[in-house]
Amino acid sequence: MVFLVFGFFLILLIYWWTRKAREIRGAGAGKPGPGKKPEGGGEFTCTNCGADVSEGDAKCPSCGAVFEAEAAGEPADAKA
């Protein structure tokens, strides 16, 4: 019985280890791993749905949230 439990946890450990190694190597070519943004300039994350949005977009392509342009030099908290 002990060998069965040990074997189960050994297989679980090997599965976790190989999955982590694939994430580190970047096996999902074209797909960024969790928490990683694709390389490129001027992208930010939509605060509504979390999708990557380019800097020039007026609204989110995923959820349709409209972005407001901030005035130069005016802090975000000062809007009334």
Length in residues, the chain: 80
Residue-level pLDDT at 25? 79
pLDDT tens readout for residues 4-58: 999 999 999 999 999 888 888 775 555 555 555 555 545 778 888 878 888 888 8
Backbone angles phi, psi at 53, to 5 degrees: -130, 140
Give the DSSP letter of residue 59.
B
CA distance 6 to 8: 5
The alpha-helical segments, DSSP class H, found in the chain are 2-25
Domain residue limits, the chain: 40-64
Q: How confident is the model at residue 61 (pLDDT cuts 50, 70, 90)?
A: confident
CA distance 48 to 51: 8
